[in-house]
Amino acid sequence: MNWGLQNRISRIIKPQNNRALMLAVDHGYFLGPTEKLENPKKVIAPLLKYCDSLMVTRGVQRSSVSATTDTPMVLRVSGGSSIIGEDLSQEDITVSIEDAIRLNASALAMSIFVGSKYEYQTIVNLGKLVNEAEKYGLPVLAVTAVGKELGKDARYLSLACRVAAEQGAHIVKTYYCDNFEKVVQSCPVPIIVAGGKKIPERDALQLTFNAIKGGAVGVDMGRNIWQSEHPVSMIKAVRAIVHNNQNVDQAFKLYQKLVSEEPKNKSNKPNQNKSNKPNQNKSNKPNQNKSNKPNQNKSNKPNQNKSNKPNQNKSNKPNQNKSNKPNQNKSNKPNQNKSNKPNQNKSNKPNQNKPDVTRK
């Protein structure tokens, strides 16, 4: 193994304890905008300094990862199928070695689909990628992909990992399973365990602990970190198991402690400003103006004009208006006639009051 190859591997798997914490953010190459990874730049930035390496596509690396980072890049170089396509196993090499070198990749990653329809194509591609990568001292990480038709037991994963190692992969990423020690023992190169789908935080920490205990050098975790409600606290807890040999209880207590210490200004204060001050302005001052002054104007002065003066006119000179302008009284102020002196009008002009009730 040449110096450059050794050096790059040592940046991914730390030589002081032979452990690795890889952060996976390459999901979009077949899933598109994965939940909580819609904005990769925003997701990656606070987590980058806590992982040993970042598994990423070239598009996201260029657009969403700071070029000043010291974190090694494990560059995914395979693809070609999407989640809505016919067969996810139909992958090919999509990134050239030259572009990987331009991106200063520390390793190249691709998937093989052992037992699938395109098994031959993906395994041959792995061999070809190793041939090219070895010329430049670039390590290759082979991902033993699984699917609905493929198994996840020790027998299948042992087969897939061994095939990847036989083709020259320097590191293999696979899944944890029962009898995981058997998978590790039958693979002559380091194994990193995939985090898989989002599970509760304690379960993800248990997975990490079991993987390390079973012989893996580390984990490549994505969704169980950045889909957590507290991703920074979660990656620190995972790191405590990988590099500090903490058990699950210790790591979970650390996670809970870190969550409780997270700045509440980010989550609480903005909401308080939105709910308290704006609402006070909207509810107190505006409502006072609307309810007190406007209502006083509407209820006191207008009502006094409507109830006092009109009623005085009605009571003082009703008979004069009866003969001269009966229709004007009907159309203008029917409600006042009805409520103020209904009985007096009842005997004199019943027919005039009936049509007024019907209009209401």
Question: 70 with 176, same domain?
Answer: yes
Question: 355 with 233, same domain?
Answer: no
DSSP secondary structure code for residue 72 in this structure: P
In a domain, 284, yes or no: no
How confident is the model over 217-266, as pLDDT tens digits?
999 999 999 999 999 999 999 999 999 999 999 999 999 999 999 887 55
| Domain CATH number, residue 92 | 3.20.20.70
Q: What is the pLDDT of residue 149?
A: 64
Domain count across the chain: 2
In a domain, 33, yes or no: yes
In a domain, 70, yes or no: yes
In a domain, 83, yes or no: yes
Question: 97 with 198, same domain?
Answer: yes
Residue bearing tokens 């248990």: 206
How confident is the model over 293-328, as pLDDT tens digits?
444 444 444 444 444 444 444 444 444 444 444 444
How confident is the model over 252-267, as pLDDT tens digits?
999 999 999 988 755 4
- Among the options 14, 128, 148, 173, which is catalytic? 173
Question: 60 with 187, same domain?
Answer: yes
Question: 232 with 345, same domain?
Answer: no
Distance separating alpha carbons of residues 310 and 241, to the nearest angstrom? 86
Range(s) of the domain holding residue 323: 300-359
Q: Of residues 328 and 92, which shows the higher confidence score?
A: 92
Q: Where are the beta strands (DSSP E) in the chain?
A: 20-24, 53-56, 73-76, 78-79, 92-93, 107-112, 140-144, 171-174, 191-194, 218-221
Question: 255 with 310, same domain?
Answer: no
How confident is the model over 119-166, as pLDDT tens digits?
999 999 999 999 999 999 999 999 998 765 667 899 999 999 999 999
Question: 239 with 322, same domain?
Answer: no
Q: What is the pLDDT of residue 268?
A: 42
Q: Of residues 156 and 268, which shows the higher confidence score?
A: 156
DSSP secondary structure code for residue 178 in this structure: T
293 part of the active site: no
Calculate the alpha carbon distances from 307 to 294, 299, 326, 329 in Å: 18, 11, 19, 14
Calculate the alpha carbon distances from 303 to 296, 306, 325 in Å: 10, 5, 24
How confident is the model over 98-114, as pLDDT tens digits?
999 999 999 999 999 99
Distance separating alpha carbons of residues 354 and 105, to the nearest angstrom? 92
Q: What is the pLDDT of residue 147?
A: 64
Q: Give residue 136's identity as a one-letter amino acid code.
A: Y
Q: What is the pLDDT of residue 150?
A: 66
In a domain, 14, yes or no: yes
Q: What is the pLDDT of residue 21?
A: 98
Helices (H) and strands (E) in the chain, counts: 23, 10
DSSP secondary structure code for residue 102 in this structure: H
Alpha helix (H) residue ranges in 262-300: 269-275, 277-283, 285-291, 293-299
Q: What is the pLDDT of residue 229?
A: 96
Query: What percent of the chain lies above the pLDDT cut of 90?
Result: 68
Q: What is the pLDDT of residue 142?
A: 98
pTM over the 0.75 mark: no
How confident is the model over 195-204, as pLDDT tens digits?
999 999 999 9
* Strand 73-76 with 107-112, pairing: parallel
Calculate the alpha carbon distances from 246 to 170, 207, 238, 249 in Å: 27, 13, 9, 8
Q: What is the pLDDT of residue 359?
A: 37
How confident is the model over 4-29, as pLDDT tens digits?
999 999 999 999 999 999 999 999 99
Distance separating alpha carbons of residues 74 and 103, to the nearest angstrom? 10
Question: 257 with 160, same domain?
Answer: yes
* Structure token pair of residue 131: 């041939």
Distance separating alpha carbons of residues 158 and 12, to the nearest angstrom? 23
